[in-house]
């Protein structure tokens, strides 16, 4: 049972990201509001009560339960605003094929790619999908993530898409994590709608006329998304699908300009989408459009790294234009099989040239904004949900520095434990700690 008040004390630093309850852009995105010699008070409702010196917190709450952070660094729980966590088997063979120079289209011809995951998912029961996803989500939480968006999109049929979204709803009820469901029935055009007598127009009609109404009727998704990319869905097709979703009461997002420019960023701006994601091939016109719209640019550097692509999204140009930038994992079986947001922060700094402060804001406040949740999540400030992560480092800049080494030792969601303290880390005794 969670005590009425908890005090997290004896931290070396607290990364609060405190500030406006909205997406941060420009210079304000660099301010992670790091505090030294302070702790966090959590109330019985699982909200942040105060951030103050340990002495002040203990004086104000003499009967509170004390949690010793042992000179680690406290941060807001990471908000991973783009994942595809519901899938069956891994697609590790495709990595080796890419290394051998085999391209995306050829991999698809050989039975790989998104359609491989579609075939696999359609054979699995809801219980199987829950079991597989549960193990993955535990690992995600163990790396400091407390909120994540989870998309459908490996079903591509009415029945399988609804099954996927019901699995997400079940996981949200069973696990101590915040899950935000997104309908991605327009992830690809399924193979069974590419030849007569059925065609892509009929599939789009299925998405808009049957899938979206069914998803909305059951309240299964907060957002709808479309993979708007040359060779997948055109801007006109994406507009039709997303307009239907918005008319049904869903928020809208886009996979936009990932590999080639197709004016998807401009479409996201036109529709006032909550976020436009990927953007490695965005144009100058797309950047200007996003800057005028307020749409969050969610960048996924792990995907470009894993695919071996030489070009990342132009994060500095986006920030310079005043576009709020978020970072997310794109966790999926084909192009970004990582559960680690700290690794994504590393890539944000080393590949996208973000400052550490910009990377933290991108993975917390702006991640929350990319889910329409910036008024509730992403910062440690009074009234916000007490979603926190504790890291086995003395300085917050070490979190993206120790890449590939998980330094997260504990997470909380609403003041309740979401990932256990790892036995090897109880005394914060990793080699090089604080060095």
Helices (H) and strands (E) in the chain, counts: 17, 18
Predicted local distance difference test score (pLDDT) of residue 3: 56
- Model confidence at 419: pLDDT above 80: no
Predicted local distance difference test score (pLDDT) of residue 427: 37
Confidence of residue 97 (pLDDT cuts 50, 70, 90): very high
User: What's the burial of 169, exposed, middle or buried (CB within 10 Å: 0-12/13-18/19+)?
Assistant: middle
CB 433 within 8 A of CB 376: no
- Model confidence at 195: pLDDT above 90: no
Confidence of residue 420 (pLDDT cuts 50, 70, 90): low
pTM of the model: 0.94
CB 371 within 8 A of CB 359: no
CB 44 within 8 A of CB 2: yes
CB 379 within 8 A of CB 55: no
348 Cβ neighbours under 8 A, 6+ residues apart:
299, 301, 315, 327, 354, 358, 359, 362, 363, 400
- Model confidence at 62: pLDDT above 90: yes
Confidence of residue 431 (pLDDT cuts 50, 70, 90): very low
Residue 89 CA to residue 120 CA, distance in Å, equals: 7
Say which CATH class 6-77+376-425 falls into.
mainly beta
% of the chain surpassing 70 pLDDT: 96
Domain boundaries of the chain, sorted by first residue: 6-77+376-425, 79-369
- Model confidence at 228: pLDDT above 90: yes
- Model confidence at 434: pLDDT above 60: no
Q: Provide the mean pLDDT of the chain.
A: 94
Q: Mean pLDDT lowest for which of 8-12, 124-128, 192-196, 252-256?
A: 192-196
Give, as one character, the DSSP assignment of residue 422: P
Q: Phi and psi (nearest 5°) for 208?
A: -80, -35
Confidence of residue 75 (pLDDT cuts 50, 70, 90): very high
For 357-413, how does the pLDDT look when each residue is reduced to its tens digit (9 = 90+)? 999 999 999 999 999 999 999 999 999 999 999 999 999 999 999 999 999 999 999
- Model confidence at 422: pLDDT above 60: no
Q: What is the CATH number of domain 79-369?
A: 3.20.20.140
Predicted local distance difference test score (pLDDT) of residue 110: 83
Predicted local distance difference test score (pLDDT) of residue 421: 41
List helix spans (H) across 158-283. 158-174, 200-206, 212-218, 235-247, 264-271
- Model confidence at 149: pLDDT above 50: yes
Residue 251 CA to residue 113 CA, distance in Å, equals: 27
Q: Edge-to-edge strand order for the sheet containing 296-299?
A: 78-80, 145-151, 178-186, 223-228, 251-256, 275-278, 296-299, 325-327
Mean pLDDT within 71-92: 98
């Amino acid at each position: 049972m969670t005590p009425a008040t908890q005090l997290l004390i004896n931290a070396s630093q607290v990364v609060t990201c405190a500030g406006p309850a909205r997406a941060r852009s420009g210079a304000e995105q660099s301010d992670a509001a790091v505090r030294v010699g302070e702790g966090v008070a959590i109330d019985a409702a699982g909200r942040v009560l105060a951030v103050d010196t340990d002495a002040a917190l203990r004086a104000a709450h003499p009967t509170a339960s004390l949690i010793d952070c042992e000179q680690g660094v406290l941060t807001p729980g990471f908000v991973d605003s783009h994942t595809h966590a519901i899938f069956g088997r891994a697609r590790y063979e495709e990595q080796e094929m890419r290394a051998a120079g085999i391209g995306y289209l050829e991999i698809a011809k050989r039975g790989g790619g998104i359609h491989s995951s579609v075939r696999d998912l359609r054979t699995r029961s809801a219980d199987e999908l829950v079991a597989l996803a549960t193990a993955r989500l535990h690992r995600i939480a163990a790396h400091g993530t407390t909120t994540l968006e989870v998309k459908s999109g490996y079903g591509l049929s009415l029945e399988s898409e609804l099954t996927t979204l019901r699995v997400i709803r079940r996981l949200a009820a069973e696990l101590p994590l915040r899950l935000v469901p997104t309908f991605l029935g327009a992830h690809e055009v399924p193979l069974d709608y590419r030849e007569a007598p059925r065609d892509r127009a009929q599939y789009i009609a299925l998405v808009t006329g049957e899938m979206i109404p069914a998803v909305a009727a059951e309240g299964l998704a907060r957002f709808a998304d479309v993979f708007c990319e040359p060779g997948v869905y055109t801007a006109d097709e994406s507009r039709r699908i997303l307009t239907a979703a918005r008319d049904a009461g869903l928020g809208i997002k886009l996979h936009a300009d990932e590999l080639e420019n197709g004016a998807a960023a401009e479409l996201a701006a036109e529709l006032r989408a909550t976020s436009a994601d990927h953007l490695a091939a965005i144009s100058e016109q797309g950047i200007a459009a996003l800057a005028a719209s307020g749409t969050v640019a969610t960048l996924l550097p792990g995907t470009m790294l894993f695919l071996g692509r030489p070009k990342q999204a132009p994060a500095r140009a986006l920030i310079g234009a005043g576009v709020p930038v978020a970072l997310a994992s794109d966790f999926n079986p084909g192009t970004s099989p990582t559960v680690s947001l700290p690794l994504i922060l590393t890539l944000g700094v080393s590949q996208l040239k973000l400052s550490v402060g910009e990377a933290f804001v991108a993975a917390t406040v702006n991640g929350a904004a990319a889910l329409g949740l910036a008024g509730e999540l992403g910062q440690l400030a009074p009234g916000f949900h007490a979603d926190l992560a504790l890291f086995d480092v003395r300085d917050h800049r070490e979190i993206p520095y120790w890449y590939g080494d998980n330094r997260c030792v504990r997470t909380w969601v609403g003041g309740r434990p979401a990932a256990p303290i790892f036995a090897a880390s109880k005394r914060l005794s990793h080699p090089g700690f604080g060095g």
